[in-house]
Amino acid sequence: MNHTYCVIMAGGRGERFWPLSTPGFPKPFLPLTGKKSLIQLTIDRALKLVPKDRIIIILGERHYTIARKQLNVLSKDNFILEPEGRDTAPCIGYTAISLLKRDSEAVMIVLPADHYIPYAHHFIRTISQGVEVAKNNECLITIGVKPTRPETGYGYIKISSERLPASPGITCYKVKQFIEKPEIKKACIYAKNACYFWNAGIFVWKASVILDAISHYMPDLYKGLHKMPMAKTGIIIDRRYKKLPKISIDYGVMEKSDKVFMIPALFQWDDVGTWSAFKRLSKDENYIQGKRVICIDTKDCVIYGDIRVGTIGISNLIVVATKNGVLICDMNEAQKVKEIAKKFERQR
């Protein structure tokens, strides 16, 4: 893994986890799947791939204090701070330029900070395959997860039969199409078709290759990035960063490039995008977290309580009670929780 760096994106507001998640304390920093927060678990996996001096975390400056407290194994040199979130393309491009100044052969493993991956050894094996392919080819690697159910909350990747000649034991398909979150009828078709995978939002590429792609498909962003002074890690990016185009790397590059290939994930994965995800992850009849929760005749529910919560005779509901508010939601409407969060935010 020489010349390899883990770049962890910890932006986002986590509005679908209101009222537990707030703008000041968003989803990556919450212990949603156990005692450790999602970003702590992500760092644990990253440390199995690279030494800590080759881990870079990109996050908003307002979350720096929380991150330093939770990730005390890291130093200030592990952080790049955004003055304002501009989606994934600017922060990836900025980091790629910074890495090339440090290491001309840099390979980037780009990871979201807030996903659920229970078995690290399978994850390490898949990512190691991606690094090997990226080092030996001028291509962009994404990781695809085989669907286990029809899912309307995820994007999909459609692969072609063409494969990239790679090392023995590594399967790498050319990507034919990226598909946005589908309606349920199409999701049912995709779940049964071997050519479709969930888009995990995990990427591997040489820093030089992704910058070449940005220069080709997003020339305005490329020019803007090169006009900016490069800050050292641990320092807030220049305020001119706010003027860069706000665009995702998926839309800006991945959906347009003909050099994108996919490696199937060998690991279990969930993006834990809504409260309803915990019902999938729970082995019990209900997902219950909190020391003050009592349930009677309750089934197929997600119950979270920072305060005393009692339920009787309910099913298929999400009940979250914290000092910030109370949420009661049908399990099938979990994607709409962010609408509640936005409305409360506007009332401030």
Domain final residue pick, 238, 264, 290? 264
* Claim to verify: residue 237 and residue 327 sit in the same structural domain: no
59 and 149 assigned to the same domain? yes
Give the pLDDT score at 230: 82
In a domain, 202, yes or no: yes
Q: Tell which phi-psi region holds residue 92, choosing left (phi > 0), alpha (psi between -120 and 50) or beta.
A: alpha
Cα within 13 Å of Cα(41), Cβ side: 22
Q: For residue 259, which of 133, 153, 84 has the smallest C-alpha distance?
A: 133
- Residues 111 and 132 both lie in one domain: yes
Q: Is the CB of residue 237 less than 8 Å from the CB of residue 91?
A: no
Given 264, 288, 309, which residue is the final one in a domain? 264
Q: Does the residue 260 lie in any domain? A: yes
Same domain, 224 and 336: no
Residue 269 belongs to a domain: no
Instruction: Answer yes or no: is 286 within a domain.
Output: yes
User: Does 270 fall in a domain?
Assistant: no
β-strands 4-9, 55-60: how paired?
parallel
Co-location of 215 and 310 in the same domain: no
Joined tokens for residue 40: 């702590």
pTM assigned to the model: 0.94
Question: Is residue 333 domain-shared with residue 228, that is, in the same domain?
Answer: no
- 76/99 same-domain check: yes
Q: Are residues 95 and 22 in the same domain?
A: yes
Contact 107, 207 (CB under 8 A): yes
pLDDT in tens, the chain (348 residues): 899 999 999 987 778 999 999 888 999 999 988 889 999 999 999 999 999 999 999 999 999 999 999 999 999 999 999 999 999 999 999 999 999 999 999 999 999 999 999 999 999 999 999 999 999 999 999 999 999 999 999 999 999 999 998 778 899 999 999 999 999 999 999 999 999 999 999 999 999 999 999 999 999 999 999 999 887 777 788 989 999 999 999 999 999 999 999 999 999 999 999 999 999 888 899 999 887 899 999 999 999 998 999 999 999 999 999 998 999 999 999 989 999 999 998 886
Q: Please tell me whether residues 171 and 282 are part of one structural domain.
A: no
Residue where a domain stops, chosen among 264, 296, 318 = 264
219 and 287 in a single domain? The answer is: no
Number of structural domains, the chain?
2
Q: Is residue 238 part of a domain?
A: yes
Are residues 242 and 284 both part of a single domain? no
What is the span of the domain harbouring residue 206? 4-264
Q: Say yes or no: 166 and 305 in one domain.
A: no
Which CA distances in Å does 34 have to 37, 67, 116, 278, 288? 7, 18, 11, 11, 12
pLDDT of residue 336: 93
